[in-house]
Amino acid sequence: AQSVAQPEDQVNVAEGNPLTVKCTYSVSGNPYLFWYVQYPNRGLQFLLKYITGDNLVKGSYGFEAEFNKSQTSFHLKKPSALVSDSALYFCAVRDIGYGQNFVFGPGTRLSVLP
Amino acid sequence: SQTIHQWPATLVQPVGSPLSLECTVEGTSNPNLYWYRQAAGRGLQLLFYSVGIGQISSEVPQNLSASRPQDRQFILSSKKLLLSDSGFYLCAWSVLGGRAFFGQGTRLTVV
């Protein structure tokens, strides 16, 4: 079965510093990987996805993610954090089976400190 | 363009009362539809998904049910709410191989 781990419950970073939110996955076959962001009392917003191709994927709001097959990781990164990036971040993998469900990690709360 | 509507945004219901949350999608055909529940602002639990009209798969046996009476309509229901049904409910849709698009969520408080 597909699974996603986000080993950090909380990440704190100073504004202007680079940020990394970690994600590792376990899938059978080639992974379809996604990052979403959630602001309080809102739905999830799509940031980026990896299906195939370049290991470095660029997404919305200056975010990017690096796919590493050997380490089964898909870490989210941003060169310079903004206070407005403070939110809950979810990594997800898409199941290849019936329904093609999305399996989400537990989420990482990012706090960017001014 | 595709949009997803989910309502109501907030709901306060007494224990034992019925529930009906509705989700509709525009701008796409034959989407996969999903209901998730999120507790305490953390992880998402998949409750139900549907790959077509009348086709419902349940991931977690509980006090809830789902129906898909039309291609782009997905309804989450309960006959009698429990306190433990409180949470943030999210509807989502996708097409095969694509990303998930989420509604804005419904905050349900059972009192």
Q: What is B29-47 written as a DSSP string?
A: SS-EEEEEEE-TTS-EEEE
CB contact under 8 A, B6 and A88: no
pLDDT tens per residue, range B62-110: 889 999 999 999 999 999 999 999 999 999 999 887 899 999 999 999 9
With beta carbons under 8 A apart, name residues in chain B contacting A93: none
CB contact under 8 A, B97 and A51: yes
Residue A22: other Cβ atoms inside 10 A: 17
Local structure of residue B83 (DSSP, 8 states): G
What pLDDT, on the 0 to 100 scale, is given for residue B2? 75
Average pLDDT, chain B: 93
Looking at the complex, does the CB of residue A32 fall below 8 Å from at least one CB of chain B?
yes
Local structure of residue A103 (DSSP, 8 states): E
pLDDT tens per residue, range A20-75: 999 999 988 888 999 999 998 889 999 999 988 889 999 999 999 999 999 999 99
Q: Is A60 helix (H, G, I), strand (E, B) or coil?
A: helix
What pLDDT, on the 0 to 100 scale, is given for residue B41? 66
What pLDDT, on the 0 to 100 scale, is given for residue B96? 80
Rg over CA atoms, chain A:
14
Name which residue leads in pLDDT, A45 or A97: A45
What pLDDT, on the 0 to 100 scale, is given for residue B61? 67
What pLDDT, on the 0 to 100 scale, is given for residue A66? 96
Strand partners, A110: A11, A87
Task: Quote the minimal CA–CA distance from B77 to chain A in Å.
Answer: 20
B32, B42, B102 ranked by CB distance to A99: nearest: B32
Local structure of residue A98 (DSSP, 8 states): T
Percent of chain B with pLDDT over 70: 98
What pLDDT, on the 0 to 100 scale, is given for residue A96? 76
Task: Quote the minimal CA–CA distance from B15 to chain A in Å.
Answer: 23
What pLDDT, on the 0 to 100 scale, is given for residue B40? 77
**What span, in angstroms and rounded, lies between the C-alpha atoms of B31 and B102?**
13
- Cα first-last separation, chain B: 38
pLDDT tens per residue, range B17-72: 999 999 999 999 999 999 999 987 688 999 999 999 999 999 886 889 999 999 99
What pLDDT, on the 0 to 100 scale, is given for residue B50? 95
**What span, in angstroms and rounded, lies between the C-alpha atoms of A1 and A103?**
10
CB contact under 8 A, B105 and A41: yes
What pLDDT, on the 0 to 100 scale, is given for residue B31? 94
Average pLDDT, chain A: 94
Average the pLDDT over A90-96 and give the result.
90
Tell me the DSSP string of B5-72: EEE-SEEEE-TT--EEEEEEEES-SS-EEEEEEE-TTS-EEEEEEEEETTEEEESS-SS-EEEEEETT
Helix (H) or strand (E) holding B93: strand B87-94
